[in-house]
Amino acid sequence: MTAQTDNPDSVTTVYKVSGMSCGHCEGAVSGEISEIPGVSSVKAVASSGEVTVISAARLDEDAVRAAVDEAGFELVGTV
């Protein structure tokens, strides 16, 4: 899912990530994704496996996949 937020210059994308099971997992994934240029907000939820990212423009999925891999998890795709 990709949707516009209150700010017309930002994009919200929800990704599905497998393997997250706790707050530490959420923090690891959020920390890595937040390093991608243009990302302004990341919220990971282990119970649903969803990671909501707000960015200045649509992100390259390969960059998100690499960040999630670096955190030790697997990007399944977008919701």
**What pLDDT sits at residue 34?**
98
Go through the domains of the chain in sequence order and give each one's CATH number: 2-78 (3.30.70.100)
**What pLDDT sits at residue 9?**
81
For residues 70 and 58, give the distance between their C-alpha atoms in angstroms, rounded to a whole number. 20
**What pLDDT sits at residue 4?**
43
Q: What is the mean pLDDT of each run of 10 residues along the chain (79 residues)?
A: 59 97 98 98 98 96 98 96
